[in-house]
Structure 1
Amino acid sequence: MATSVASRRLSASERLRRSLNNGRVTAALILLPPALILFTLFVMLPLGESVYYAFFNWNGYGTPTDYVGMENFQRIAGHSVFQKAVTNTLKIVAISLFLQMPLALLLALLIYRKTPTNALFRLIFFVPYILAEVAAGLIWSFVFDGNYGVTASIAQSMGVESFFILADRDWAFVAVMTVIVWKYFGFHMMIYIAALQSVPEDLIEAARIEGAKRHQIVRYVQIPQIKHALVVSAFFAIIGALQVFDIIIPLTNGGPSNQTHTIVTYLYTFGLTRLNIGFGSAVGVILFIAAITVAVFYQRFFMNRSET
């Protein structure tokens, strides 16, 4: 027993000596402190301040003194616009998982092979993701403009009355989701293309020899082989949906009648722009808790299982 303990201690000391010799510990000692300092200054401290401010009625000037306890959270819970923002955020999550990702996978299956034509299509489909969110929102706000935009031109050519999509309570958020799918499906497509290119051709060829059809190869060979990419892509889609902001502001600014708000645009509109920093901080705390909960749950029940 004593001998085994001593051997384990020796092996641990031997591992430490080897780590020192190959420079890993030295590199960690040099690189880790700056990263921790930056993370503390720009993540942990602002987060802690947000939690603190969430319990005050504060406009952002001076020192917060009007302590209101849980009043900000109670106001948020009873605010119909916040409930609409949560619903819209969940809709974006759903559209990202059940429309954006399947569309990206379909296109990836069509153009994943390395040919000049496929390379051109990849570029075309990936360009929207490269475009800045604000720029994309401004471009599509012009497209949807009922007076001078593309939709107005189409309506005139068809001899029908122009339709103001972004001013319609029922269709404005449909337009927003259309832009979101257009903007981000190329990102997921590139993830799938990279994964599909790593699938051994021997497996696909063996399936063909066995008489498998194209859809059977996709279902039973390729998709199981890229399961890790699908799991990671879904995680990015969910977290990204929780953070949608830059596209909505230039498109609708949350309108009409607050029908297109997400949680982040709600925070911006009812917290920052109205100088109600305590209220906005409470929304930020709720969003942070939601994001952390999703991340932990997803890591526990999906990513860990995909590794087995």
Structure 2
Amino acid sequence: MSLSEIPALAPVAGPKSRPLRKKGSGGRLTAILLLLPPALILFSLFVILPLTESGYYAFFDWNGYGQPENFVGLRNFEQVVGHGVFHTALGNTAKIVIASLLIQMPLALFLALLIYRKTPTNSLFRLIFFVPYILAEVAAGLIWSFVFDGNYGVTASLAQSMGIENFFILADRDWAFVAVLTVVIWKYFGFHMMIYIAALQGVPEDMIEAAQIEGANKVQIVRYVQIPQIKPAIIVSAFFAIIGSLQVFDVIIPLTNGGPSNQTHTIVTYLYTFGLTRMKIGFGSAIGVLLFIAAVGVAIFYQRIFMKGAKA
């Protein structure tokens, strides 16, 4: 039999190969189905449900007992907006935002530039500067309330050593919130400092060396090399500073409890004092709704305007 007479073999039909993409999509779908229900349940229980209930209670004059029945419409919101203490709390919250952006963040960046290199001494300083952040807010407020105590605190000792009259800063309407700003800056600058340190350690040394070869001094290197390279970290840090300023509460309650004469309230302490402690749950819910709208509005605006640069 010659080769030409051998019948040609038909190709064997094998199983259809499935694209790897479908397999990967199936794996992702399985992961989503396994992870989504628990996360969705937790998010619904601790975020969506409380927000929905707050939005509902805000339209009632309710003390928290029984079912809300006295529907008052927008009266709670009108009372909040027309209350002078709320205006003070709103202004104080704005002051914390400004102090965080113009004092706290530059201080954190300055210290980060000094100690970002990996040395044993710098590691010690990082720990010292970061300790206030890991300290509980209530503990920090209590510590500083003792520091500012005009009878037995550190300020009283300093006043006696200098031969001047004791100064009760936490009881002074003009200076009490300055003390609050001092504690807030001291408490949270370490968090921003660590963000900047992590970003600075990612700046290529080749760029710094090239700038030094070109004759740039330290200030020029910081301004034209390091800060542009860590710009995304600065943008994210500013976002955390703004959102965190809207939520300041635990430091103020043990420090001043909103006094003297309601001069050191923020929006959250105002909600706690005039809503929860006075059993005016509907009124407090209205404050919470306004705070939620403000926080979401700031987050959306900031993300659309500034976070695009951070992603780039």
TM bracket, shorter-chain basis: over 0.9
**Match status 1:17 vs 2:30:** no
| Alignment correspondent of 1:140 | 144
Task: Name the aligned partner's letter for residue 23 of structure 2.
Answer: R
Contact 2:232 2:309 survives alignment (8 Å): no
Of stretches 26-35 and 132-141 in structure 1, the one that deviates more from structure 2 is: 26-35
SS in 2 for 1:246: coil
In 2, distance between residues paired with 1:67 and 1:270? 19
Distance between the aligned counterparts of 1:91 and 1:190, measured in 2?
24
TM-fit CA distance, 1:13: 7.3
C-alpha deviations, 1:61-103, integer Å up to 9, x for none? Answer: 0000000000000001110000000000000000000000000
CA distance in 2, matches of 1:124, 1:301: 35
Alignment of 1:151 with 2:173, yes or no, is no
Instruction: Describe how 1:203-214 pairs up with structure 2 within 5 A.
Output: 203-214=207-218
> In the alignment, which residue of structure 2 is the partner of 1:38?
42
Query: Which TM-score applies when normalising by structure 1?
Result: 0.94
Question: In terms of Rg, which structure is larger?
Answer: 2
User: 1:85 is matched by which residue type in structure 2?
Assistant: A
- In the alignment, the residues of structure 1 paired with residue 106 and residue 238 of structure 2 have an alpha-carbon distance, to the nearest angstrom, of 11
Distance across 2 between alignment mates of 1:95 and 1:13: 56
Matched, 1:118 2:128: no
Moved over 6 A (4+): none
TM-score, length of structure 2 as denominator length = 0.93
Q: How much has 1:136 moved relative to structure 2? A: 0.1
**Is 1:275–2:256 an aligned residue pair?**
no
Deviations 1:109-135 (A, max 9, x none): 000000000000000000000100000
| Runs (5+) with no aligned partner, structure 1 | 1-11
CA-CA distance at 1:307 after TM superposition: 2.8
Counterpart for residue 105 of structure 1? 109
* Alpha-carbon separation, structure 1, partners of 2:22 and 2:228: 39
Alignment partner for residue 295 of structure 1, among 283, 299, 306?
299
CA distance in 2, matches of 1:79, 1:112: 47
Aligned twin of 2:259: 255
Match of 2:175 in 1: 171
Q: Which sections of structure 2, spanning at least 5 residues, go unmatched?
A: 1-17
Q: Distance in 1 between matches of 2:246 and 2:299?
A: 11
Contact 2:132 2:187 in 1 (8 A): yes
How far does residue 14 in structure 1 lie from its aligned partner after superposition? 5.4
- Identical counterparts, % of pairs: 77
